[in-house]
Amino acid sequence: MDAHLHLWDTDVLTYDWLDGPLLRSFGPDELDVALQDAPDDDCGFVFVQAECAPEQAVAEVDWVSSLADRVPLRGIVARAPLEDPAATDRHLAAFAERPLVVGVRRLLQSEPEGFCLRPGFLRSAEGVASAGLSFDACVRWTQLPDVVAFADALPDLAIVLDHLGKPELGSPQAADPADGTPWAESLRDLARRPNVTCKVSGLPAESAGEWTDAQVRPFLDIALDAFGPDRLLFGSDWPVSGPFGRWLDTVTSWLDDRVGTRGHHAVLRENAERVYRLRSAGQGA
């Protein structure tokens, strides 16, 4: 179960942030190619909003849902404007009519300190919890204390931390930079909140250049120590982090060394199904 897949089509929706090699469409055809170097296995996907123009958030859900005959989608994490409670209510009403929506995300990584702790944002997040949806928190590691306070303020909201909080990996030649850092301490603090889980995803995009298994393993070890195997979810972050097969192999081999069979299945499938309340395969919209 890949709990963090992106897809986009620049001919359908507007993505102002795209540049470089990502400035093209990544849809079912491109995903098929990416999966050629992955094990031949029964894989499901949770699509996570790809930051199209804010006014296109519901249209993005409809476009992605239309791909369900080409991509084995199990759920959608949609964009919602949580800074605006009235607009959030309208989005939640629209999402209630779209059964593939299992969670929402409002990117926080570029927002100022305390953005997610403002009264309006907290009020919107309460609505997300009441709707039975989860919230994906995509932040940089310096914002982890805000996520701690956010989780404390909303104990009934299921919060999924994306990409281990985006730690700075540095270069592959650097000494072990993970343990004892402010990121590690903040991640452990966040893990003490039972309503928070963490995605094993996105680290390749945080590396300064090429990355290696040895480079990322210390960060995965700290996440495992903090959250345990029952609160970690595998995500590819494709195509932002790629190639797909290489990251899957890295996580799988790390799990083989660190956890037993039950923990292996939990991280790679079962935790995502539980956290996102996914329907059984074949029970689409």
Give residue 282's pLDDT band: very low, low, confident or very high (50, 70, 90).
very low
Residue 173: per-residue pLDDT: 55
Residue 180's region, left for phi above 0, alpha for psi from -120 to 50, else beta, is left
Does the pLDDT at position 284 exceed 50?
no
Residue 184: per-residue pLDDT: 94
Q: pTM above 0.85?
A: yes
C-beta of residue 20 within 8 angstroms of C-beta of residue 28: no
Strands (E), 174-285: 196-200, 232-234
Which structural domains are found in the chain, ordered by start? Answer: 2-275 (3.20.20.140)
Rounded CA-CA distance 251/35 in Å is: 16
Rounded CA-CA distance 255/225 in Å is: 13
Beta bridge partners of 199: 233
Give residue 281's pLDDT band: very low, low, confident or very high (50, 70, 90).
very low
Dmax (CA) of the chain: 50
Q: How many CA atoms lie within 13 A of 134 on its CB side?
A: 27
103, 183, 209, 246, 261 from 173: Cα distances, Å: 38, 20, 11, 19, 32
Q: List, for residues 33-85, the tens digit of each pLDDT value.
A: 999 877 666 789 999 999 999 999 999 999 999 999 999 999 999 999 999 99
Residue 42: per-residue pLDDT: 78
Structure tokens at 221: 């070890």
Residue 222: per-residue pLDDT: 96
H or E element at residue 28:
helix 28-34
Residue 285: per-residue pLDDT: 37
The residue-averaged pLDDT of 181-207 equals 95
DSSP state of 280: P
Give residue 208's pLDDT band: very low, low, confident or very high (50, 70, 90).
confident
149: nearest Cα among 108, 177, 102, 206: 108
